[in-house]
Homo-oligomer: A and B are copies of this chain.
């Protein structure tokens, strides 16, 4: 799949030199602002000001903030668009059969995306930047929360509340760890397992995190304040 979601390649030869310079100025400004202010803090208006262009031009070139971020970070795909389109298509196709299989579908989608070298490289680049710089951490945390967690809660029909976000961040923990163990550390035999094998092993984990029992005392269900274990303080 992957290639369907790859962002449009730059039209180098056919593009006027002035437009190319303007785009580069916007992407430079975006990288700086995202790095300094994080994903949520950076605005298209501020990035446009730094690049000396009208905000409307930034919207014209890149559309949404997420697409601008993806272009600035050289991500070949826009993560929430993959989640929404692939999982949305499966939801439409399977109807009520979708939710009981969402863990398996999500795991398979992710592993097939990582099979595309450009996507894998970009994902690992974000992980490395978060592992090594505080700027990278803020950027990646807010990006994951605002785009991936948000689109996942939406497509899985989770509430946009503490429980929905807890479930989505549990999923994120297994996703990040799988990528790290498989592609950074290369732990065997995990690293050379096929996507099908891993979908069988890890799909049920995703399924439980998204729709199953994750414990009565999740952050979404704070312990009963009147329970005997936590008496009101005098």
Q: In the bound complex, how far is the Cα of B204 from the Cα of A217, in angstroms?
A: 15
CB of A181 within 8 Å of the partner chain:
yes
The answer to whether B205 and A219 touch across the interface, beta carbons within 8 angstroms, is no
Q: Which of B185, B199, B202 contacts A137 (CB 8 A)?
A: B185
The answer to whether A219 and B192 touch across the interface, beta carbons within 8 angstroms, is yes
- A24 CB, nearest partner CB in chain B, Å: 27
The answer to whether A141 and B189 touch across the interface, beta carbons within 8 angstroms, is no
CB of A174 within 8 Å of the partner chain:
yes
Q: With A131-B131, A209-B201 as known contacts, state yes or no: A189 contacts B177, CB within 8 Å.
A: no
> Which residues of A80-138 are within 8 A (CB) of B?
127-128, 130-132, 137
Size range of the chain A interface in the assembly: 35 or more
> Which residues of A192-208 are within 8 A (CB) of B?
192-194, 196-197, 199-202, 204-205, 208
CB of A67 within 8 Å of the partner chain:
no
Q: In the bound complex, how far is the Cα of B180 from the Cα of A121, in angstroms?
A: 18
Q: Which of B172, B188, B193, B205 contacts A208 (CB 8 A)?
A: B205
The answer to whether B145 and A187 touch across the interface, beta carbons within 8 angstroms, is yes
**Segment at the interface with B among A55-63, A150-158, A161-169:** A161-169
The answer to whether A174 and B172 touch across the interface, beta carbons within 8 angstroms, is no
- A80 CB, nearest partner CB in chain B, Å: 16
List A residues at the B interface (Cβ < 8 Å): 127-128, 130-132, 137, 140-141, 144-145, 149, 162, 165-166, 169-170, 172-178, 180-182, 184-190, 192-194, 196-197, 199-202, 204-205, 208-209, 214-220
Nearest 4 pairs of A and B residues by beta carbon: A177-B177, A200-B215, A131-B131, A169-B190
